[in-house]
């Protein structure tokens, strides 16, 4: 009986939608942060723990071919030395192992007649190692102890990928190649589905970073989503470790992921970093906003999350020196009235009904069905969409943001569904009106933007927005002057934030 050979289109259809392929241009931007002398070191060893196309190892090989020319003058001997002794990879699927070998060895088999290296086996240094998830019992069902995915979703037919990546599904990753690496570099898978309609996915890129750090190479450089800056499911410990790790010496952040991956929308943007084991200090942090780039040496641990905008950081410092109290305490938690997003209610009002605003308009429900935050029912308050107006948190084509999709003053007897947050509660309408006008200023939306790393807006995103006396009206001119913002800081806000009527 012949060995099963799955259809290539079936393989492609089962690739994870978070296996984002890296272009040579982006790979080389990341490689440029490594010290020049490493390319002339014939002993330096490189590992890509999440090979997809093999682009990182190919570009590394190109640089080593040039850098080692004087030490190994014969080109064929030099290429063979690099491919056999210096570059190693762990493809994430069987399919990507074939792609990576084609890229690096110019052959499907490392020991094939067309291979440019002399290996005895067909994998060479690109080892696809099949692993299985290790299931542990949880109240919500069995989950993998390494990546946290549910057993009922990833216990799959053996012909399908289970995405039990060998680098992170291992208590001893150092045994995969039995050697010490100088550089661990790559673009790891970003997340794993938790199943169900609209279910939040589990991030796994953090596990690749943490495993790489455990191996203590000389350098680590990876490109990963920026959601960890201030959010992300289960990323609190990872964020704390990263912010306090002074070995992160370079970080380059892109608010718009399409600047690195034109065909992918990655909520909250992406960043790549250089971790330098033997060189602690401040991080050279680069903020990229469209065609504007700002570089600043700074500590990443100034706050409990990472402010990605260097100019925004200066503005926040000015505001905090003047006003300590933020609007955060006036913002509700998610789903303040415990009314589902799907609620539509009656089209017309009736006796003892209350008006409920939802994503498609409004409907009516009995007032005695309201159980949460009854104290807000008969107050004036501001309703704000809990998702941004930008797709996947990306800026517009012009590189700017509106941020708030919908903002409305609610009257007594009016509430909202899970789709909205509620801000403030007042006896008099003028206070709610002035709060709404304040939130529409570019100043206010810019400060909220500093804490946004996904499409979601929550209470904590208002932590840097100072509270005001809402018996008064506010506009941007007054606020810029009150906080003594410079012309360049004002220009930055005006450029980055769209007007909001």
Q: Mean pLDDT for each consecutive 10-residue tract of the chain (501 residues)? A: 46 53 95 98 98 96 98 97 98 92 94 93 95 88 91 80 91 92 97 67 94 97 95 92 98 93 88 98 93 93 94 96 94 96 96 97 97 96 94 77 96 98 98 98 97 90 97 97 97 95 87
Q: Has residue 191 been placed in a domain?
A: yes
pLDDT number for residue 17: 47
Is the whole model's pTM more than 0.95, yes or no?
no
pLDDT number for residue 1: 41
pLDDT number for residue 419: 97
What are 206's two structure tokens? 């953090």
Task: Clarify whether residues 52 and 196 are in a common domain.
Answer: yes
Q: How far, in Å, are 224, 265, 396 from residue 12 at the CA level?
A: 22, 19, 31
Q: Provide the 8-state DSSP code for 497.
A: B
Task: Clarify whether residues 128 and 27 are in a common domain.
Answer: yes
CB 410 within 8 A of CB 365: no
pLDDT number for residue 161: 78
Q: Has residue 317 been placed in a domain?
A: no
pLDDT number for residue 134: 94
Task: Clarify whether residues 168 and 290 are in a common domain.
Answer: yes
Q: What is the CA radius of gyration of the chain?
A: 26
N-term to C-term CA, the chain: 70
Q: Has residue 1 been placed in a domain?
A: no
Task: Clarify whether residues 255 and 172 are in a common domain.
Answer: yes
Task: Clarify whether residues 251 and 135 are in a common domain.
Answer: yes
Task: Clarify whether residues 346 and 448 are in a common domain.
Answer: yes
pLDDT number for residue 135: 94
Task: Clarify whether residues 387 and 473 are in a common domain.
Answer: yes
Range of the domain at 376: 322-496
Cβ partners under 8 Å of residue 349, min gap 6? 355, 364
pLDDT number for residue 14: 45
pLDDT number for residue 18: 56
Task: Clarify whether residues 294 and 397 are in a common domain.
Answer: no
pLDDT number for residue 9: 41
Q: Which of 308, 338, 366 is the last residue in one of the domains?
A: 308
- Using DSSP's 3-state secondary structure scheme, residue 456 falls into strand
Nearest by Cα to 22 from 248, 291, 262, 275: 262
């Amino acid at each position: 009986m012949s060995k099963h050979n799955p259809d290539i289109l079936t393989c492609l259809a089962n690739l994870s939608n978070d296996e984002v392929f890296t272009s040579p241009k982006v790979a080389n931007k990341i490689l440029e942060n490594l010290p020049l002398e490493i390319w002339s070191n014939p002993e330096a060893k490189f590992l890509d723990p999440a090979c997809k196309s093999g682009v990182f190892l190919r570009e590394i090989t190109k640089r080593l071919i040039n850098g080692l020319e004087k030490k190994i003058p014969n080109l064929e001997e030099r290429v063979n030395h690099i491919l056999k002794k210096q570059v190693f990879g762990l493809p994430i699927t069987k399919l990507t192992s074939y792609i990576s070998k084609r890229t690096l060895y110019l052959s499907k088999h490392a020991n094939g007649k067309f291979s440019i290296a002399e290996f005895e086996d067909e994998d060479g240094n690109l080892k696809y190692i099949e692993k299985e998830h290790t299931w542990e019992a949880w109240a919500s069902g069995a989950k993998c102890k390494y990546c946290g995915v549910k057993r009922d979703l990833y216990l799959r037919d053996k012909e399908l990928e289970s995405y039990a990546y060998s680098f992170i599904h291992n208590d001893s990753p150092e045994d995969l190649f039995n050697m010490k690496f100088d550089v661990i570099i790559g673009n790891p898978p970003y997340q794993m589905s938790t199943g169900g309609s609209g279910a939040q996915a589990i991030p796994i890129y953090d596990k690749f970073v943490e495993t790489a750090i455990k191996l203590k190479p000389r350098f680590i450089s990876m490109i990963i989503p920026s959601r960890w800056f201030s959010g992300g499911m289960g990323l609190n410990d990872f964020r704390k470790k990263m912010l306090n790790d002074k070995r992160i010496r370079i970080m380059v952040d892109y608010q718009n992921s399409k600047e690195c991956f034109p065909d992918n929308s990655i909520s909250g943007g992406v960043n790549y970093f250089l971790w330098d084991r033997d060189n602690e200090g401040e991080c050279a942090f680069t903020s990229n906003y469209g065609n504007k780039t700002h570089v600043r040496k700074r500590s990443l641990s100034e706050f409990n999350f990472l402010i990605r905008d260097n100019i925004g950081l200066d503005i926040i410092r000015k505001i905090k020196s003047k006003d300590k109290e933020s609007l955060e305490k006036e913002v509700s938690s998610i789903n303040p009235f415990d009314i589902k997003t799907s609620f539509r209610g009656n089209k017309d009002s009736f006796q003892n009904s209350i008006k409920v605003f939802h994503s498609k308009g409004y409907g009516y429900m009995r007032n005695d069905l309201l159980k949460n935050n009854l104290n807000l029912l008969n107050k004036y308050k501001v309703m704000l969409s809990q998702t941004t107006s930008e797709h996947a948190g990306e800026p517009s084509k012009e590189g700017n943001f509106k941020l708030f999709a919908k903002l409305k003053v609610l009257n007594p007897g009016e509430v909202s569904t899970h789709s909205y947050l509620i801000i403030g509660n007042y006896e008099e309408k003028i206070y709610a009106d002035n709060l709404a006008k304040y939130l529409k200023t570019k100043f206010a939306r810019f400060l909220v933007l500093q804490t946004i790393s996904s499409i979601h807006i929550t209470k904590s995103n208002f932590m840097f927005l100072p509270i005001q006396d809402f018996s008064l009206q506010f506009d941007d001119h007054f606020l810029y002057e009150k906080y003594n913002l410079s012309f360049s800081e004002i220009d930055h806000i005006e450029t980055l934030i769209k007007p909001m009527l």
